[in-house]
Structure 1
């Protein structure tokens, strides 16, 4: 598999926004939420974002922020035709490597309860540590790091 990450730039914002909007519209409708494209744009610069390329073609993106003691995974989005190829698992491995390199003790994320990605996250060692009406809060404690939940 020829998959690579590259640091996202301002020129990638429209790709990332539209991919997220398309991928999440079903969940937003299911849980009666409203997509806030301007909020996505406003947060773009504050996050560390990467484009997922397969054979030099953008097929997705990921973004995260580094919080005290943990990496908060904000988005992992793949274009629909590239799902089921193992790219998601590969991306999660890359995120884990980044979290270790940045000194994080854990990785946290939120995911819609009906999203099939919940199963991927569980296979990757994430556990549900909280929930709200539409979302699971999941966390993976990184081996060799002190357990610290806030």
Structure 2
């Protein structure tokens, strides 16, 4: 599997917005939330976003921010046809490398409680550190390099 990341630009915003809307719609419905595309768009320039490609095929994107001593995973979205093939684990390994390269101590993320990705995050060493009505807050220490 030949995967790589490419820095996303403002031209990639429509793809990222639509993929997020499609992937998250069931969770938003389950928890009585309303999707707000304008809020997603407003956050886009504040994040470092990457397209995930397999060969020449676009399979998803991820978005991060770096805070004081941690890297925060804002989004990791995969096209449904590419889930369950190791792409998510590969992307999380790239995120861990980014965190180590930047001297971060921790990686943090939030995930809907009913999202199957929670199992992947646990396998990768993420632990629950808090929660909201619909979300788990998870984090792990960055492996020193």
Is the pair's TM-score, using the shorter chain for normalization, greater than 0.5?
yes
SS in 2 for 1:21: helix
Distance apart, 1:144 and its partner CA: 3.5
SS in structure 2 of the partner of residue 81 of structure 1: helix
Partner of 2:97 in structure 1?
97
Aligned to 2:119: 119
Q: Flag as ranges the 4+ runs of structure 1 deviating above 4 A.
A: none
Please list every run of 5 or more consecutive structure 1 residues that lacks an aligned counterpart in the other structure: 146-150
**TM-score, normalization: structure 1?**
0.95
Equivalent residue runs for 1:1-150 within 5 Å? 1-144=1-144
TM-score, normalising length: structure 2: 0.98
Cα RMSD, aligned residues only: 1.0
- Per-residue CA distance 1:24-61 (angstroms, 9 max, x = gap): 00000000001110011011011000000011111100
Contact 2:113–2:134 (CA under 8 A) maintained in structure 1: yes
CA distance in 2, matches of 1:88, 1:95: 10
Alpha-carbon deviations, 1:108-128, whole Å to 9, x = none? 000000000000000111000
Distance in 2, Cα, partners of 1:128 & 1:76: 18
